Amino acid sequence: MDRSFKRISVICFLLAEAILYYFVLTAGGDIFTVCAYTGIVLCFLFALLFGVKNDPLIAAGLACTVGADFCLVVCSPIQQLWGMIFFLGAQSFYAAKLYLNQKNRTLLLIRIGLVAAIELISLIILKDKLDALAVVSVCYYANLFMNIVTAFTQWQKNKLLPIGLVAFILCDTVIGLQVAAGGYLPIAEGSALHDFLFMDFNLSWFFYLPSQVMIALSTLQKE
């Protein structure tokens, strides 16, 4: 593919995402929904068109993200469980990509142990509140954390992917605490943490859309 065409395509992609990002952070209602989901779909299409030869597993992960956000952003009422299943699929594809890059069995064993330990801790803490959504969410979050650790061990090969994953986990931390405040954790209304989590600003998407843009762009870094 002609490099000048690819360069122009990257610029157009970033401009489109910047415009969508503005509306995602400032608009509400249907405008937010359309702009937010369009931004995610564009990330997948960019990776599919320009990076799939380099990183088919990243493109597959972004396809899962499109499915997740359809469940969590477009659907009404939102389908939280299915959304988290899709997100777990995305992190599984990223984990496979990172493992194939390095084939570090130590990190693989740490990943398996971490997921098992966190699930056990969740069972002990949540007890009768533990449900399918919590199980999938905890597994997803643990895999995302390990993907960040693994991606930083491959920093010289790809710098955008670990940064994108860090922004991803910041988004998910905000959302996770918001969901937990609704029934899993005793976060009192009026507390500083509650006010921070539910401020009049879309803090989760502040991190989320840039994370997906960086993940999509990371598919170009092998060239």
Which pTM does this prediction carry?
0.89
Beta carbons of 142 and 118 less than 8 angstroms apart: yes
pLDDT given at position 182? 62
Q: Are 130 and 122 in contact (CB under 8 A)?
A: yes
Instruction: Give the confidence band of 92 by pLDDT, cuts at 50, 70, 90.
Output: very high
- Pick 81 or 199 by higher pLDDT: 81
pLDDT, tens only, 161-213: 999 999 999 998 888 788 777 666 666 676 777 777 777 788 899 999 999 99
Query: CA 130 to CA 206: how far, in whole Å?
Result: 29
pLDDT for 209 equals 97
- In this prediction, residue 188 carries a pLDDT of 64
For residue range 118-176, what is the model confidence (pLDDT) as tens digits? 878 877 776 777 788 888 988 898 899 999 999 999 988 889 999 999 999 999 888 87
Distance CA 55, CA 37 (A): 22
Residues 20-41: pLDDT tens digits? Answer: 999 999 998 999 999 999 999 9
Q: How confident is the model at residue 223 (pLDDT cuts 50, 70, 90)?
A: very low
CA-based R_g, the chain, Å: 18
What pLDDT score was predicted for residue 30? Answer: 93
Place of tokens 């380099």: 54
Among 67-81, 102-116, 207-221, the minimum mean pLDDT is found in 102-116
| Distance from the first to the final alpha carbon of the chain | 11
Neighbours of 184 (CB within 10 A): 19
Alpha helix positions (H), the chain = 3-26, 29-46, 56-69, 80-102, 105-126, 132-153, 160-181, 192-197, 203-217
Backbone angles phi, psi at 85, to 5 degrees: -65, -45
Kindly tell me if the per-residue pLDDT of 59 is higher than 90. yes
Q: In this predicted structure, what is the pLDDT of residue 61?
A: 97
Query: Is a pLDDT exceeding 70 seen at residue 7?
Result: yes
CA distance 137 to 120: 13
CA dist 123 and 104 (Å) reads 29
Average pLDDT over residues 101-122: 83
